[in-house]
Structure formats: structure tokens, C-alpha cells
Amino acid sequence: MSAAEERLQEALAGFDFGAPVAGALRYGKGHINDTFCVHTQPEEGPCRRFILQRMSAAAFKHPDELMENILGVTEFLGRRIAQDGGDRSREALTVLRPRNGEAFFTDSEGGAWRVYPFVEHTICYQSAESAELFAASGRAFGRFQQLLGGYPAETLHETIPNFHNTEDRLVKFRAALEADALGRAKDCGPEIQFVLDRAADCSVALEAMRAGKLPLRVTHNDTKLNNVLMDETTREGVCIIDLDTVMPGLVIYDFGDSIRFGANHSAEDERDLSKVNLDVDLFAAYTGAFLEGAGGALTNPEIEYLPWGAKLMTLECGMRFLTDYLEGDHYFHTQREGQNLDRCRTQFKLVSDMEAHWEELEKIAKQYQT
């Protein structure tokens, strides 16, 4: 048995799944955590599934603080959903504590593991198959924003410091470029120049925040389409997942990250850049639905800055992929060489498209200002 398999077996033994475990298979397309789907085999009744995750040690330095956030947020969401007459076990994640009663299980090498019951009868999409589906995801993320409106932000730990601080991401990019530890900078001259040409953009949202135009709220911060589970029948959003980065942030980050990932028809690591194009109709569909889901929570300046949220999240994500490429792919999971550089290129293609369609994007957002 490999060391990784041994740690997995330790983690499985650390939880009571209510029935014997029939197997645990790698699951999902997340870039950060190691995710497994656990199948149980009860003597009677149907098999139940669980999501078992080893939290990324590269991303999260304090799993105790991370899980404190998640326990607080899932409990809060569960209560709000139940008050609204919803099904909290389906519409919010539930943490299954390990046998020792703590918030997560620690294996013999210090790996931190957690378990959620699998939210059944849902689909996790990797791309928006239709404007309706993308709009449904927008409604769900907007509602999430509204539900967390009253959450005590001061109790949240910053699980990744400066997560969407684009100025700080630029500083980190410059440091990686300066170090050029693997001699890879020579392969990405145009991408490096793309960032340097947009250094001033990195301050736009932060300047607006410092000027008091954009308020800090409790935000999700990782609103890709594959972080919301959709009902397999109605195709409406059921449950927002991947709560690792719920922290104070700007609402335009949540809007923007969804656009970055979902408002186009190609994979994030597509190599043929002619296939990577911003779909303005998807942008428009998401905008209306997100604002509807948020139920009037956004102020006029927040609505005005939505296109900036899209551009900045895309630029920042491209910069993060490029930084990881320059540093040797330590942060994002990769399945092939050069994948982080390919991902960076798709992001920059989308940024260029957003710049080309800027007036249209501003016009769409403006319609919703009161």
C-alpha cells in the first residue's frame, strides 16, 4: 500500500459513516483539495455516499481556523434555510465530525481530513450548457450572498491572507518572476508583458474600497460553476459548496469569478485560444440572475463595478496560474506539464475579450442601477 493510500485508510477509519465503507474513489475536478467519494454498504437500505477531503496544506495553513469558519457558516446557513422553509440537509453543507468529536481528523503525517454527506440528486457542471443553467447558478450565488448578509464577519478567520488582494497578487507575481526558480520565464514573455501592461488595473477595486465606494461583505470568493450543485431535475441551484474561502470580501469578486469561469464555452485549460471567447449573452444572463438572487442587496456603485469584478478576477486568476507555473506548480493541481501556463493563457484571452466588449458590459450592468 502506498503512503497516500495508508493515510486515506487512516482517515476512513477516523469517521463513523454509519455503515461499513465499501470503497473510496477520487472524485471531482477541484484544483485544491484531495477529494474522495466514499460509498457505504449498510446491511439494509440504500448505499449512502460521503465526500471525504484532505484539505490542501499548500493552500490552507490553519485547518483548525478553516473548519471553525465552515462550522459557523454551515450552521448559520442551515438555520436561515430552515427558517425559510427549505431543507437544510440539502441546501447547505453539513459537517460530519470524526469519531473523536473534533472538527476534522488529523492523520499520522499531519494531513487534515473532513467529511460532508454527499448532496444527492444534484449535478456539478464544469461548463454552462445553456444561459438558463448559468443564470440558475447566478441566482444561487446571489442568494448565498443574501443569506450570509447578517453573518458576523468579525468571527471569520482569513483562511488565505490577501486572497483577492490583486495588488498583493501582483507583488507575488513579480517576486516569482524575479526568482524564476525553474528558468520558465523565457517561455512566457507575452503573458508576463500582459500582466505588466495591466499593473495599474490591479488597484481599481481596492482603490474603490479604500475610497468607501465598495463595502466589505461576507463573500464566497470562489464562485466557479463547479462550486454549486444543481438539481438534477429542475436544474436550479441547490447547494453552494467549497466554503474554504468564505471571508470578508467585495461582492464584485463573487460576481466576477463566476463570469471568469462560466461566461465562455471552453475549458479553463483549453489550448486552442480561438475557442476561448467571452459570451456577452452569458454575462448578461448571469448579471440579472445574480442581482435577482441577491434580492436588492447590492448598492449602485457595486453594480457599476460588476464589469471590473469580472475583469479583475480573470486577470488575477491568470496571474495566479502564471505565478504557480513560474514557481513549479505547487499550488494548483495539474495533470500535465504546462497546464498552468495554458490556464493562464485562457484567462488572458478572456481579459482581452472583456476589454474589447467593455462598453457593452458596462451598459448591461447600468440597466440594473436605480
- DSSP H helical ranges for 39-130: 63-83, 88-91
Residue 245 binds Mg ion (CB under 5 A): no
Which of residues 94 and 352 has its CB atom nearest to ligand ADP in the complex?
Answer: 94
- Pick the stretch among 28-36, 43-51, 142-150, 271-279 that binds ligand GN1 (CB under 6 A): 28-36
Quick check: 273 and 345 in contact, CB under 8 A?
yes
- Looking at beta carbons only, is 103 or 280 nearer to ligand ADP? 103
Contact set for ligand ADP, span 306-325 (CB under 6 A):
none
* Contact criterion met (CB below 8 Å) for 219 and 243: no
Q: Which residues contact 211 (CB under 8 A, 6 or more apart)?
A: none
Minimum gap (Å) between residue 118 Cβ and ligand ADP: 4
Q: Please, what is the minimum distance in Å from the beta carbon of residue 313 to Mg ion?
A: 15
Q: Which of 222, 279, 304, 327 binds ligand GN1 (CB under 6 A)?
A: 222
Q: Binding residue for ligand ADP (CB under 6 A) from 40, 90, 118, 265? A: 118
Q: Does 241 bind ligand ADP (CB under 6 A)?
A: yes
**Dmax (CA) of the chain:** 63
Torsion-angle region of 288 (φ positive above 0: left; ψ -120 to 50: alpha; else: beta): alpha
38 in contact with ligand ADP (CB under 6 A) = no
Binding mask 197-236 for ligand ADP (x = CB under 6 A): -----------------------------xx-x-------
Residue in the structure block whose three cell numbers are 442601477: 369
| Spatial distance between the Cα atoms of 317 and 346, rounded to a whole number of angstroms | 10
Alpha-carbon distances of 133 from 3, 29, 229, rounded to whole Å: 41, 19, 11
Q: Does 245 bind ligand GN1 (CB under 6 A)?
A: yes
Give CA–CA dist 284/262, Å, rounded.
Answer: 12
Choose the stretch contacting ligand GN1; rule: CB under 6 A; options: 79-87, 222-230, 284-292, 362-370.
222-230
Query: Per-residue b/e over 91-127, b at no fewer than 16 CB within 10 Å?
Result: bbbebebbeeeebbbbbeeebbbbbbbebeebebbee
Give the Å distances, CA to CA, from 106 to 64, 101, 111, 186, 273: 10, 12, 5, 41, 42
Q: Based on the shown chain and the rule CB under 6 A, indicate whether residue 315 belongs to the binding site for ligand GN1.
A: no
Closest to ligand ADP by CB, 239 or 361: 239
Q: Which residues pair with 117 in a beta bridge?
A: 50
Q: Residue 31 or 184: which CB sits closer to ligand ADP?
A: 31
Report 4-43 residues binding Mg ion (CB under 5 A): 30
**Interface pattern 247-286 for ligand GN1 (x via CB under 6 A):** ----------x----------x------------------
Half-sphere CA count of 243, side-chain side, radius 13 A: 29
Our measurement of the distance from residue 114's CA atom to the centroid of its chain's CA atoms, rounded to an integer in Å, reads 18
Give the shortest CB-30-to-Mg ion separation in angstroms.
4
One-letter amino acid at 223 equals: T
Closer residue to ligand GN1 (CB): 74 or 245: 245
Whole-number minimum distance, CB 244 to ligand ADP, in Å? Answer: 6
Question: Mapping DSSP to helix (H, G, I), strand (E, B) and coil, where does residue 196 land?
Answer: helix
User: What residues make contact with ligand GN1 under the rule CB under 6 A?
Assistant: 30-32, 59, 222, 224, 227, 242, 244-245, 257, 268, 317
User: What residues make contact with ligand ADP under the rule CB under 6 A?
Assistant: 27-33, 35, 51, 93, 116, 118-119, 124, 226-227, 229, 241-242, 244
